[in-house]
Structure 1
């Protein structure tokens, strides 16, 4: 079975379907670095299929090389894959102007693979316009943002390819945008082109992800197919805590980075079970941001307050000499520790790329915000997932992603359901 991934991001949703055995037709994503990440991941799967992952591991080591050496090794990695073996990864913004080219490339790929139809379309348009925080910060309540209507472009793919089913992922705010009118219009569009749909609010923590991350998953089935929303029971996990995701990584202070890909301690059963760390993996993307002394002083106070009293420190609770912002009435939780001793963290979002204040490491001896690799693990990305581009882009890619473990559970349900329909 195959799938088409639109508004792909860094591939968190796609990763789940790849793990479940689906084959990608194409990925479409407007961000250049996210596209390079998708390309690298596609190469990983090609080399894995051909038992040549040693070449991929050598490329991972380029994380510790110079920029020029990294580029050279990437070219060598690309040369490992014969032409037309990888699916198209289109670095394009989906719009009326680009749709003809996008459809052409998809059609060419379907013909090349001998596929007569698209089994599944997955993807989640950018969610900033639907975000409650985004609307609160915008004086026009995001009403003039063109991204509000990207669902209409999503429907264009449904109209053209008539997949058996689709998955549309977004933030809970999509339900209330424009007093619910936008969501009603979205449903009407999808039904009009031949789909029964249902929307559910799901939480990543119910899928084995150690993160409180609520998302709206809209599932659609073609009207000629027996339709049912995935009934996925919350997973009963052992008493894993967030520290189990972090403790094996090298300890770092502000501004430090690891000099090799070695882990600090042996693999943990949680990391093995969730396939976050394999025995042959190495550590990459584990560099601590440099922080100014004032922020380091605040970080220490925030962690101490939590460790000693189990309380979140508000910005107005800080000593006077540490308060520099004029806004003392809103966003008072701007400094927040990732709690290591609980079964899930708070939500990782793309804002982590700005400063990291909302994602302070729970180990007070390290006194810093979390690294790209630590954020990726909380999102359930495996250590062999290589994020391309600068650190800021890596954080954005991770914060915007669907957790792969969550995506995998959805994909497994779809695979079983579609196989029943085919039989």
Structure 2
């Protein structure tokens, strides 16, 4: 049997990038992530892939149904695989320990690929507006990324980040990254790619830097711009149970319709007759009135709600000049706007377009917008799940990149 190409995932989050590479046929050696909830999600997904590979996936579904505990699920997996999810902040202090775990996991294998992107707050426009980001240690996490290239000498790497990295400190940070990587023997190129061109029902731009060892003479792969034929409400949400504010299930939710071309072709709905975490936040009456106004305005006029134009009795924030678009409806006739981590704080920016449901989107709906398969389970809590999803790389985008890289290597 042909051995799989291997990768290490740095700043792995809940595993969107990794899941895409696994679906493309790559094998993870290790994931490194500082957030415990995201690591727990990665461990649970590691259990899924192990059990599926060994024709025992029903044992994973027992966990989704709440019939066995998380510890019981993890105990079904070889301990070294669970330990290959390394819950550490990457720093000079932790690097020796991280390298030790990875080296044990590698045995005689080589690392074909390093993937991942440092936390994007340091490069995001919003992050830079909050404080002087020159002093933010996250700006220098790329140096640790480069240390992994130096140690494992992969054939290629994928570095993902927000478009703000292009302009951060007038391009100085990006220039430093390029110089550091080239010193380790790599050529590299950057492009802004949009998730919607990878069949993701979301307008989400990301800078994707791809590098390769100089002796390989590769070029940046070509990605086509595709017209999306599908819509969020009709194709992405239509088979999920209709809910009101505060309703839903953490574990099993049965589908209410058969699958469709989009859900089947993307693997989002992937074989079982239920999903999980289709659970909506509770919203107070004031917010629900605003949601209704926002949806009516969007459906009838194709216009976004301006917070300052609401009836006075509904306005609860004294500041009506900034963040006037804080209430936003997910596009019902096309693709969603970008899902971000702030969705963990409130759902006002992601109002469900069905006025009869009158709520913000559920964890599962957010996961679907990010193209996670329906059997992907996000650990810990609803808030933690939303944050993980908002920070993730869309799975279909990751798979599209991985497919091209697999062809190249």
Quote the residue 1:284 is aligned against.
276
Quote the residue 2:78 is aligned against.
82
2:253 corresponds, among 261, 275, 283, to 261
1:46 aligns with 2:50: yes
- 8 Å CA contact 1:248–1:264 kept in 2: the answer is yes
SS at match of 1:321: helix
Quote the residue 2:114 is aligned against.
121
1:92 aligns with 2:88: yes
Deviation at 1:31, TM superposition (A): 0.5
SS at match of 1:143: helix
1:31 corresponds, among 27, 32, 35, to 35
- Alpha-carbon distance between aligned partners in 1 of 2:244 and 2:352, rounded to the nearest angstrom: 10
1:334 aligns with 2:338: no
Superimposed CA distance per residue, residues 200-241 of structure 1 (whole angstroms, 9 cap, x where no aligned partner): 000000000000000000011111111210111123443444
- 8 Å CA contact 2:64–2:252 kept in 1: the answer is no
Q: How many residues align?
A: 404
1:233 aligns with 2:229: no
SS at match of 2:157: strand
Superimposed CA distance per residue, residues 287-340 of structure 1 (whole angstroms, 9 cap, x where no aligned partner): 110011111110000000011111111111111111121222211100000011
Comparing 79-88 with 198-207, greater Cα deviation is found at 79-88
Query: Given the two structures, how large is their TM-score scaled by the length of structure 2?
Result: 0.96
Quote the residue 1:293 is aligned against.
285
Two-structure CA RMSD over aligned residues (Å): 1.4
- Alpha-carbon distance between aligned partners in 2 of 1:235 and 1:285, rounded to the nearest angstrom: 31
2:337 corresponds, among 330, 339, 346, to 346
- Alpha-carbon distance between aligned partners in 1 of 2:155 and 2:294, rounded to the nearest angstrom: 50
- Alpha-carbon distance between aligned partners in 2 of 1:139 and 1:13, rounded to the nearest angstrom: 29
Flag the 1:154–1:129 CA change in 2: closer, same or farther, 3 A.
same
- 8 Å CA contact 2:218–2:408 kept in 1: the answer is no
What is the correspondence of 1:95-106 to structure 2 with a 5 Å cutoff?
Answer: 95-106=91-102
1:20 aligns with 2:30: no
Flag the 1:197–1:203 CA change in 2: closer, same or farther, 3 A.
same
- 8 Å CA contact 2:255–2:273 kept in 1: the answer is no
1:363 corresponds, among 342, 349, 354, to 354
- Alpha-carbon distance between aligned partners in 2 of 1:401 and 1:362, rounded to the nearest angstrom: 23
- 8 Å CA contact 1:299–1:367 kept in 2: the answer is yes
Quote the residue 1:132 is aligned against.
125
Flag the 1:192–1:82 CA change in 2: closer, same or farther, 3 A.
closer
Quote the residue 1:186 is aligned against.
177
1:166 corresponds, among 148, 152, 157, to 157
1:108 aligns with 2:100: no
**What stretches of structure 2 of length at least 5 have no aligned partner?**
none
- Alpha-carbon distance between aligned partners in 2 of 1:198 and 1:284, rounded to the nearest angstrom: 39
SS at match of 2:141: helix
1:303 aligns with 2:295: yes
1:154 aligns with 2:145: yes
- Alpha-carbon distance between aligned partners in 1 of 2:231 and 2:313, rounded to the nearest angstrom: 39
Comparing 281-290 with 372-381, greater Cα deviation is found at 281-290
Superimposed CA distance per residue, residues 63-110 of structure 1 (whole angstroms, 9 cap, x where no aligned partner): xxxxxx7xx522221222234355600000000000000111111111
- Alpha-carbon distance between aligned partners in 1 of 2:228 and 2:303, rounded to the nearest angstrom: 26
Query: Given the two structures, how large is their TM-score scaled by the length of structure 1?
Result: 0.93
1:212 corresponds, among 188, 203, 216, to 203
- Alpha-carbon distance between aligned partners in 2 of 1:84 and 1:139, rounded to the nearest angstrom: 41
What is the correspondence of 1:397-416 to structure 2 with a 5 Å cutoff?
Answer: 397-416=388-407
**What stretches of structure 1 of length at least 5 have no aligned partner?**
63-68, 419-423
Quote the residue 1:66 is aligned against.
none
- 8 Å CA contact 2:233–2:353 kept in 1: the answer is no
- Alpha-carbon distance between aligned partners in 1 of 2:160 and 2:193, rounded to the nearest angstrom: 10
- Alpha-carbon distance between aligned partners in 1 of 2:226 and 2:53, rounded to the nearest angstrom: 30
Deviation at 1:183, TM superposition (A): 1.1
